[in-house]
């Protein structure tokens, strides 16, 4: 009778679905991430914490195919697979997951399950996967006091005050999520590092996390404060050429590796935004990086040295990294990687790639992407970031002629470096859904998949994520994928089109504030947009700051000439009059107005798209996302109104008739203050109110 009832209920549900559309899923809080389609009752983790036991548990719990799945750690190593690559071998007798290492087998298992959930299994044949980057790194900007700099998903995941005694389940869930994507490295703390992280007390806390992460192939790194020898070591200096300082770092490295034998190494922010560094002592970036690199090299460690440096007095901040690092090209040790932000300024919605990628021919470099949406609406806006990152990786630097893309420089194809890496500044916090916005999970997912295989398209990754996170029903997948694919470009349109950049309010980098001043010029939006009666935009040509000359030809000439400069970057490289004629025949002013309007209209369209798929999403997640997309549409209006009403005080030009009228005056918006810190997300209820029906 029990079996009959189950079969009867199933038949009724199927009939209802056929007659009335999809059956509404039960509500979920989103904690399952992209495991939802196979794991919507919770994460059934392996009780035994070895890599092979974890792999076996994943198959036992979630494999739905009829074939047997066998694991094969190869005795005769296959050099083509490296340490982490794997093969999936499909034949009539079953499926074999083969690798040189247990970690590779685990990655293969997650690939097999991903293919199961996305409809990409094959009946026969062999699939071989090898990661493009050796180090696939998440950078956490988490602080010991549990705040997260540029974090919009609650407090830090790491509860330092309760470690090492209290171990939370979320630590292993985090490791599992990263392993499913092939992410193999994590920097636990903020680049604005507190020296306390290197004390014995905190190293014991770090050890607990490292032990949990190890079976999942996840290696721990730490950000370090360069002044640590003075701050916690009792020395009078932190000069990298001082013998006592060198000894202190050598001893500290030995101490760390005695506690965490597979410790990855150090991430360093030095001589930037007030952080200590070798320049404090008249030394160079190479002096500082190499001193640390020598300390960790005996243990197999590396140093990731950030190129995010700039001088408050520099005439063009976009040029500073090149000015500081190019003179030392080839002077860095072989276990040092210079970590370069994707653009030359600071994770703006659109930037050209940093010229430094194309200038360092004899130095190992890596790209730093930002997963957390510091300048893209925090956790209030739906913005799928993979198209932005791929735009950077696919950019041609022409360093060694055509085809010298950022990807080929950083993954080792162009220069055959001994190490290579990529980093993403994570968006993870202790929020139940991990990222503050259900769709922000897609950016964590996309970063991991891109770090493993940069050849994957944005569409492919979005399709994978949607099917695993929500449903594989085409009536949901197709419109949501289209929305995601347009979201980054739409955000550029309603925030900073045509190469405008850094026009944000200073409070938390949320919302517009193009009129704001600051205690230093390069922290003021006016430094970047340079709006006046004569026009708008930053002149970075050879007649201006000279930034175009930092790019290799033919890019230098393309960017320098206003006629050939891509219009999406035209105000990045050129200062133009308001009546400048664009390629469309419109004036610059009208083009700005119309581009903002396109972004506004698209953001308002998210509301309708999300409403159209309501039946395919559980009620809890649908409601939470709906609140966000409504806020996003209102924020788009706020951005346009504030920016263009401010610019109108210089241009004295009217808004085109086919653009919606501003709903607030410039004086009203100018008086508006968010009052948020770096560690807060703005309350949607406290933001400017807009009537979307007036669009």
Catalytic residues: 273, 346, 374
d(CA 378, CA 621) in angstroms, rounded, equals: 18
Q: Which two tokens stand for residue 538?
A: 């930053």
Q: Which two tokens stand for residue 384?
A: 């799928």
Q: Which two tokens stand for residue 386?
A: 């993979």
Q: Which two tokens stand for residue 665?
A: 């005056």
Ramachandran category for residue 661: left, alpha or beta (phi over 0 → left; psi -120 to 50 → alpha): beta
Whether 191 and 139 have beta carbons less than 8 Å apart is answered as yes
**What 3-state class would DSSP assign to 421?**
strand
Q: How many residues does the chain have?
A: 695
Distances (CA, A) of 161 to 157, 205, 431, 679: 12, 9, 18, 19
Beta-carbon neighbour count of residue 589 at 10 Å? 24
**What 3-state class would DSSP assign to 237?**
coil
Whether 343 and 351 have beta carbons less than 8 Å apart is answered as yes
**What 3-state class would DSSP assign to 479?**
helix
Beta-carbon neighbour count of residue 607 at 10 Å? 15
Q: Which two tokens stand for residue 42?
A: 């919770």
- Choose among 331, 398, 383: nearest CA to 496: 383
Cα 351–Cα 143–Cα 681 angle in degrees, nearest 5? 60
Q: What φ, ψ does residue 136 adopt, rounded to 5°?
A: -115, 100
d(CA 371, CA 375) in angstroms, rounded, equals: 11
d(CA 639, CA 482) in angstroms, rounded, equals: 23
**What 3-state class would DSSP assign to 597?**
helix
Name the strands in the sheet holding 69-73, side by side, starting at the edge strand that comes first in the sequence: 69-73, 94-99, 86-91, 125-129
Is residue 475 classed exposed, middle or buried when 0-12, 13-18 and 19+ CB atoms within 10 A define those classes? Answer: middle
- Choose among 346, 353, 271, 357: nearest CA to 322: 357
d(CA 448, CA 454) in angstroms, rounded, equals: 10
Distances (CA, A) of 434 to 92, 162, 235, 633: 40, 20, 41, 23
d(CA 115, CA 568) in angstroms, rounded, equals: 37
d(CA 251, CA 296) in angstroms, rounded, equals: 10
DSSP secondary structure code for residue 341 in this structure: E
Ramachandran category for residue 553: left, alpha or beta (phi over 0 → left; psi -120 to 50 → alpha): beta
- Partner residues linked to 142 by β-bridges: 148
d(CA 85, CA 132) in angstroms, rounded, equals: 10
- Helices (H) and strands (E) counted in the chain, each on its own, are 22, 12
Whether 668 and 690 have beta carbons less than 8 Å apart is answered as no
Helix, strand, coil % over all residues of the chain, rounded to 5: 45, 10, 45
Q: Which two tokens stand for residue 677?
A: 């810190």
Residue bearing tokens 């790019």? 551
Alpha helices in 496-618 (DSSP H): 525-529, 555-560, 570-573, 588-612
Q: How far is CA 229 from the centre of its chain?
A: 32
């Amino acid at each position: 009778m029990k079996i009959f009832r189950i079969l009867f209920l199933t038949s009724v549900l199927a009939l209802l679905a056929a007659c009335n559309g999809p059956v509404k899923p039960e509500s979920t809080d989103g904690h399952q991430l992209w495991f939802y389609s196979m794991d919507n009752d919770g994460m059934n983790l392996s009780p035994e914490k070895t890599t092979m036991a974890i792999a076996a548990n994943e198959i036992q719990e979630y494999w739905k195919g009829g074939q047997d799945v066998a694991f094969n750690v190869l005795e005769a190593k296959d050099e083509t697979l490296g340490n982490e690559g794997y093969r999936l071998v499909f034949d009539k007798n079953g499926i074999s997951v083969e690798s040189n290492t247990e970690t590779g087998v685990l990655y293969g298992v997650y690939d097999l399950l991903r293919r199961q959930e996305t409809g990409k299994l094959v009946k026969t044949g062999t699939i071989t996967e090898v990661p493009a980057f050796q180090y696939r790194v998440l950078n956490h900007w988490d602080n010991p006091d549990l705040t997260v700099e540029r974090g919009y998903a609650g407090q830090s995941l790491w509860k330092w005050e309760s470690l090492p005694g209290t171990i939370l389940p979320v630590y292993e869930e985090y490791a599992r999520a990263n392993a499913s994507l092939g992410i193999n490295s994590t920097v636990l703390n903020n680049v604005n590092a507190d020296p306390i992280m290197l004390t014995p007390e905190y190293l014991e806390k770090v050890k607990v996390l490292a032990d949990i992460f190890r079976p999942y192939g996840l290696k721990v790194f730490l950000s370090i404060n360069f002044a640590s020898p003075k701050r916690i070591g009792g020395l009078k200096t932190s000069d990298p050429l001082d013998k006592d300082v060198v000894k202190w770092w050598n001893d500290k490295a030995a101490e760390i590796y005695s506690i965490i034998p597979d410790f990855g190494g150090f991430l360093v922010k030095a001589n930037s935004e007030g952080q200590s560094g070798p320049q404090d002592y008249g030394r160079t970036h190479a002096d500082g990086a190499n001193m640390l690199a020598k300390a960790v090299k005996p243990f197999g460690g590396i140093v990731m040295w950030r190129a995010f440096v700039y001088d408050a007095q520099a005439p063009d901040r976009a040029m500073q990294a090149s000015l500081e690092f190019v003179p030392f090209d080839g002077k860095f040790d072989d276990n040092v990687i210079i970590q370069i932000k994707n653009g030359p300024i600071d994770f703006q919605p659109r930037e050209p790639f940093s010229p430094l990628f194309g200038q360092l021919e004899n130095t190992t470099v890596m790209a730093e992407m930002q997963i957390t949406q510091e300048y893209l609406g925090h956790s209030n806006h739906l913005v799928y970031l993979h198209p932005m990152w791929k735009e950077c990786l696919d950019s041609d630097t022409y360093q060694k002629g055509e085809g010298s893309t950022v990807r080929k420089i950083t993954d080792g194809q162009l220069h055959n470096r001994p190490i290579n890496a990529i980093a993403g500044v994570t968006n993870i916090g202790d929020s139940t859904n991990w990222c503050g916005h259900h769709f922000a999970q897609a950016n964590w997912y996309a970063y991991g998949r891109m770090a493993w295989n940069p050849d994957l398209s944005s569409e492919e990754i979005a399709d994978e994520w949607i099917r695993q996170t929500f449903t594989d029903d085409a009536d949901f997948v197709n419109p949501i994928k289209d929305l995601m694919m347009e979201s980054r470009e739409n955000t550029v349109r309603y925030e900073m089109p045509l190469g405008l950049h850094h026009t944000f309010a200073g409070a938390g980098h949320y919302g517009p504030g193009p009129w704001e001043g600051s205690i230093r010029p390069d922290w003021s939006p006016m430094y970047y947009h340079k709006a006046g009666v004569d026009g708008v935009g930053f002149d970075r040509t050879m007649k201006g700051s000279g930034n175009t000359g930092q790019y290799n030809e033919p890019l230098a000439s393309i960017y320098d000439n206003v006629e050939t400069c891509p219009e999406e970057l035209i105000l990045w490289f050129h200062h133009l009059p308001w009546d400048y004629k664009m390629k469309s025949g419109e004036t610059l002013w009208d083009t700005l107005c119309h581009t903002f309007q396109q972004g506004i209209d698209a953001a308002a369209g998210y509301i309708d798209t999300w409403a159209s798929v309501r039946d395919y999403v559980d009620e809890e997640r649908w409601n939470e996302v709906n609140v966000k997309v409504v806020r996003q549409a209102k924020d788009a209006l706020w951005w346009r109104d504030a920016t263009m009403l401010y610019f109108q005080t210089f241009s004295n030009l009217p808004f085109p008739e086919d653009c919606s009228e501003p709903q607030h005056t410039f004086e009203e918006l100018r008086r508006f203050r968010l009052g948020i810190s770096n560690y807060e997300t703005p309350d949607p209820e406290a933001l400017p109110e807009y009537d979307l029906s007036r669009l």
